[in-house]
Structure 1
Amino acid sequence: MQQRPLGRSGLAVSRLALGTMTWGRDTDADDAAAQLKSFLDAGGNLIDTADVYGDGDAESVIGSLLGTLVPREELLIATKAGLRPGGERRRDNSRGHLLRTLDASLRRLGTDYVDLFQVHCYDPQTPLEETLAALDHAVASGRVRYIGLSNFSGWQTAQAAVWQAAWPGRAPVVAAQVEYSLLERGVEREVLPACEALGLGVLPWSPLGRGVLTGKYRHGRPADSRAVSPHFERFVVTYLEPRCSSIVEAVATAANGLGVSPLEVALAWIRDRPGVTAPILGARTAGQLLGALQVERMVLPEEITTALDDVSALEVGYPERDG
């Protein structure tokens, strides 16, 4: 698998990343091991998780595979913090919470550092300087190699990145993890331009439109799909509407003409978007992941890329498109 630099950092990552949102809940330890082995065999090296995935179980599963399935130094681990599983304060980017959850993540992962530590979302109740100072401390202490943001808007991303670049010795923000796919191109308005201007690598989550771009929902909701899962039903139904259906049909038509799967077409499109470093693949089974990894050998013809751009085009106006 080809590698790309993560933003303006020296960290080289595989151009596909492995997501673990279902690990420890819908994906058991054996299937997680099979997924990781397939990913590593394909040349992948970046795995993404979070302290809230499976209430910490996803990190524990990863920790159980380190040393047995893969040496720690051969795997790049990205995790996130800043969300609380319940209570009145859902978002918490305070110094105490971030550093406390980082230590808990390290214990579950069975390692003394993570390669990329990301703030899971913007917290309006915590001064941004406090959050970023906590990240600086995490890097200075050796527990974190690089820092990133997740689900920040354009201005929030720019504010954080500029703050870190304004003073020597602060840890630079090198990555932005955002939802991005043919069904969700909102980040093209301001987040992607901010990342390009400030040197952040983009890590798209849900690059297959929460599974909808695979075409599995074209004729209903399969009994084993996320659309009928109590954990993920609300996550999927957002994209089961007419506009999204027309995009899915365009992807299916392109796939039929190329003799590949809709999954490969949608994934190749997002993988090769300007500014994208590595889409994050989330699979429930090893078989699903193997199908997605076939995209490595594929390059979309320019005319198909243009057609998909057109059918999924984002409506923009002032000030993104002036005049």
Structure 2
Amino acid sequence: MATGKTTAKKKTSGSPQRGGSRKPAASGKKNLGCLFWIAFVIVVAGLFVVNWELIQKTVRDSHVFDRFSGEPAQTPPREEDIPELQPVPEPVRENPTAGNNPPETPAPGPAETNQPAQPSGTGGQPAVRPPEGTNPPAAGTNQPAQPSVKPQDPPAAPPAEQLRSRTMYFMRVDGDGTIVRTKSERKLPASDSPMVDTLQALLAGPSAEEQRRGLVSLIPQGTRILSATIRGSTAYISFSEEFQFNTFGAEGYTAQLRQIVWTVTEFPNINDVQILLEGRRLDYLGEGIWIGSPLSRDML
């Protein structure tokens, strides 16, 4: 029993020693926490001091205090909102000597007119009186200026049509019945197809002046040109079917071919003519007149 009590006392006496050894560790943790919070407060205060101006500007721009005070924030006016100051006209100073008297009305002067003054004296020309039945302009009124009408230039005459001298051949029948080829000159308008124009004039027949000279055409009436082309030195001319009917026989056929060939070969770039009928090449015309190849002056 005594031994058991002694052991219990030892255990009891040992327990306070363990609790005493734990107190220094707890106090160390408390000191470390205090140091942390002190350092945190110092850092926050330092940041607050460093950014003081920025904080003030942010608070001022956000108008936080104005929301609690209830007064509208006063925003500084922008440059574009500032109205431009207009110059104030100076008040008209009244003449102190005039008093309450009304302003004097100036006496009417001589009537103003826009007419030039007429020279006086015997050396000047007499004044021109306005025509009867017209009222003179009232005094002080300005006559509206009459617009000066510029005479229009006469329309320009169209350019004169250019004419070119063209040679064509007709026939003349002598007293003994001989058919003679005769040259005739005409003035025809210039164009891009002088050969066709000359042939058209030839088919139309002699003019009145040429008829007085005894010239006739033995080309059958109603003959028309269907086409005309030039290949090298040869002219290919297609006539209508009337060209193959001549009432004067073989001499008439030969005469009409001479009129065509000699008229066309007057152009320096053409040496011979190929006669076509309705676009086709025939060997003979009428009573055995050869037209199957290009015809030159020497062949007729």
Question: Normalised by the size of structure 2, how large is the TM-score?
Answer: 0.24
Q: Which has the larger radius of gyration?
A: 2
Question: Normalised by the size of structure 1, how large is the TM-score?
Answer: 0.22
Give the structure, 1 or 2, with the largest relative contact order (CA under 8 Å, sep 6 or more): 1
Give the number of the structure whose residues are more often helix, by fraction. Answer: 1
